[in-house]
Amino acid sequence: MNIKKCLYIGFSILLIPLVMAPLSTASEGGKTIVFAQGAEPISLDPPNQTDNPSEMVVRHIHDNLVNFTEKMDIVPMLATSWETTKDGLTWTFHLRKGVKFHDGTPFDADAVIFNLKRVTNPKKRLKRTALYNPFIKSFEAVDTYTVRIQLKAPFGALLAHFAHGAGGMVSPKNWEKYQDKISLHPVGTGPYIFEEWVPGDRIVLKRNDTYWKGKPKVEKIVFTPVPEAGSRVMMLETGQADVAFPIPLIEVNRLRKTKGVKVITGDTARVIYIGVNNLKKPYTDVRVRQALNYAVNKESIVKNILKGMAKPSKSMIGSLVWGYSPIKSYEYNPQKAKELLAEAGYPNGFEASLWTPEGRYPMDAQISEAVAGQLKKVGITVRLRKWEWAAFIKNTRKKPEEAKYEMFLLGWAPSTGDADWGMRPLFYSHLWAPKGSNRFYYKNLEVDKYIEEGMKTADREKRKEVYRKAQEALVNDPPWVMLHDMVQSVGVAENLENITVWPLEIVLVKDAYFK
């Protein structure tokens, strides 16, 4: 946070009782939206980012072939229409004409082919290559504005994968210029143009006056990282920020009564969990991982820390993900936990480490502290370590032999809204970190079988049954400690309209304007 902001917040602390309404300093007369994020983005390269703070910025700069609505329906974007053959193996996309990237490069079939080649290249994998490479066989430009894609097998979630943040189209010319440094110099076709990134302080986007959907109503968007929850709230209340996300759940009711502020809340597709390194002893024993689940009082965490604004998890994917099936929630049973630990050879418990981000998710550090306290009751002494978000993600995405962590708090919301991406990156044994997001180094051949079957099954009802079986297997052989399905809360200046909030924990202000 910069000095000016720190001084302002410090001064404001003394004046909290006197603050009655926002000062409207952020909007500059409706020209700029200031968005206070809980964590700083890590990458602005669409197929090479894996975190929501990055994706939120990416989606203001880049457009996809297709897009989600707030209800997670899929609608045209850079592709105006599409059709598929009866066998589901051939898809043809018709592209929007007259669109240009911010650097003047035309958007056409060649640009799409470039992006597909880049993201499916097995020799130079990107962080989101697993979204596309396993099922895309080939692709070709039929003509200037038509692209044909051949699949290896029918894949029911294809459109959802193209709507994912990784599907943002990047300028081929810009990539040739910057290549591996493209994250710091992003160029898309979206409503806002990248202007600057001052690490730790701000990312500034300016309006694209020639945007194909029409000129945005706000001139600039400034994304600023504010890890401290109290500081985000104060910036919103005093008018230094127009959007604050996430808002601490304990502040929601108070903010709803605050003049000049409105709060948007809703269920999400995100599941919060305590990840476990399945390769390290004693976590190699399924009885220990089950014991951890019995030892954690999820209902208490939801009630006392999250003030009822969450739901104890009943599966390894969020309840709003397509294909979700409620399996069970491990009840709080410390005696059962002790029995399982004794069976596994740890009657007196053991020492453990737990890593946590602070400010990335609602009450994340407080939840980790509560988990540490509950584990102590069954004999597990926990050393808690708090991390800054970027360093946390980097250090929990290591090769197995380099991973130093035992347990860590993290969340997952599949940005496709589909069970395939809710499970495959996390639990497929061929996607261990850093290749994928299987940070647990989890391997269960039964789960692998269901994941592969779900990818190749076109019938929706059959797919859903396959994923139900996968979820059942995962809950019985837990790779992590189940916590809760997250509720999101967004603080917004009362005079800011047309905010878009997706259940994927994505907040967009590209269509927003001031009254």
Average the pLDDT over each of 4-18, 260-274, 410-424 and give the range with the smallest value. 4-18
Q: Quick one: how far is CA 217 from the chain centroid?
A: 27
Q: Which residue has the higher pLDDT, 21 or 365?
A: 365
Please give the average per-residue pLDDT across 497-505, as a whole number: 93
Joined together, the tokens standing for residue 190 give: 């979206």
d(CA 148, CA 157): 17
All CATH 3.10.105.10 domain ranges in the chain, comma separated:
267-487
Of 260, 377, 366, 385, residue with least CA distance to 307: 366
Joined together, the tokens standing for residue 241 give: 């920020």
- In the three-class reduction of DSSP (H, G, I as helix; E, B as strand; rest coil), residue 279 is classed as coil
Is it the case that residue 23 has pLDDT exceeding 90?
A: no
Is it the case that residue 41 has pLDDT exceeding 80?
A: yes
Please give the average per-residue pLDDT across 26-55, as a whole number: 89
Is it the case that residue 20 has pLDDT exceeding 70?
A: no
pLDDT score, position 249: 81
The residue type of 507 is: V
Is it the case that residue 202 has pLDDT exceeding 50?
A: yes
Please give the average per-residue pLDDT across 171-185, as a whole number: 96
| 8 Å CB contact between 428 and 436 | yes
d(CA 253, CA 426): 35
Q: Which residues contact 305 (CB under 8 A, 6 or more apart)?
A: 363, 366, 367, 370
CATH architecture of 267-487: Roll (3.10)
H or E element in which residue 255 lies = helix 252-256
- For the chain, the average pLDDT equals 92
Write the DSSP string, 441-470: ----HHHHHHHHHHHH---HHHHHHHHHHH
CA atoms within 13 A on the CB side of 390: 9
d(CA 368, CA 416): 28
Joined together, the tokens standing for residue 257 give: 């009564």
pLDDT score, position 27: 55
- In the three-class reduction of DSSP (H, G, I as helix; E, B as strand; rest coil), residue 160 is classed as helix
Q: Which residue has the higher pLDDT, 28 or 472?
A: 472
Is it the case that residue 466 has pLDDT exceeding 50?
A: yes
pLDDT score, position 72: 87
pLDDT in tens, 304-319: 999 888 999 999 999 9
Joined together, the tokens standing for residue 154 give: 């029918």
Q: Are strands 350-357 and 202-207 parallel, antiparallel or unpaired?
A: unpaired
Q: Can you list the alpha helix ranges (DSSP code H) found in 15-145?
A: 52-61, 109-120
Cα Rg, the chain, nearest whole Å: 23
Positive or negative torsion for Cα 403, 408, 392, 120? positive
| 8 Å CB contact between 61 and 205 | yes
Residue 462's pLDDT band (cuts 50, 70, 90) = very high
d(CA 242, CA 498): 13
Residue 415's pLDDT band (cuts 50, 70, 90) = confident
Q: What is the pTM of this model?
A: 0.78
Residue 9's pLDDT band (cuts 50, 70, 90) = very low
| 8 Å CB contact between 23 and 237 | no
| 8 Å CB contact between 181 and 187 | no
Residue 446's pLDDT band (cuts 50, 70, 90) = very high
Give the domain 66-172 fold. Answer: Dipeptide-binding Protein; domain 1 (3.90.76)
pLDDT score, position 457: 86
| Bridge partners (DSSP) listed for residue 312 | 484
Residue 71's pLDDT band (cuts 50, 70, 90) = confident
Q: Can you list the alpha helix ranges (DSSP code H) found in 309-350?
A: 334-343
Q: Which residues contact 426 (CB under 8 A, 6 or more apart)?
A: 316, 412, 436, 437, 438, 440, 442, 479
Please give the average per-residue pLDDT across 275-290, as a whole number: 98
CA–CA distances in Å: residue 68 to residues 64, 72, 84, 484? 10, 5, 19, 25
Q: Quick one: how far is CA 225 from the chain centroid?
A: 16
Residue given tokens 């694209």 in the structure block: 208
Is it the case that residue 14 has pLDDT exceeding 50?
A: no
The residue type of 206 is: K
| Bridge partners (DSSP) listed for residue 492 | 243, 262
d(CA 363, CA 345): 34
Strand blocks (E) in 259-335: 261-276, 310-312
The residue type of 424 is: R
Between CA 342 and CA 346, with CA 343 as vertex, the angle to 5 degrees is 40
Joined together, the tokens standing for residue 477 give: 């052989």
Domain 3-61+175-266+489-514 class? alpha beta
Is it the case that residue 1 has pLDDT exceeding 60?
A: no
| 8 Å CB contact between 238 and 456 | no
All CATH 3.40.190.10 domain ranges in the chain, comma separated:
3-61+175-266+489-514
Q: Can you list the alpha helix ranges (DSSP code H) found in 385-490?
A: 389-395, 419-427, 445-456, 460-476
Joined together, the tokens standing for residue 364 give: 């994340």
| 8 Å CB contact between 86 and 76 | no
All CATH 3.90.76.10 domain ranges in the chain, comma separated:
66-172
| 8 Å CB contact between 78 and 63 | yes
pLDDT score, position 28: 56
Joined together, the tokens standing for residue 284 give: 């190699």
The residue type of 208 is: N
Residue 359's pLDDT band (cuts 50, 70, 90) = confident
Between CA 371 and CA 196, with CA 233 as vertex, the angle to 5 degrees is 105
Of 473, 509, 506, residue with least CA distance to 492: 509
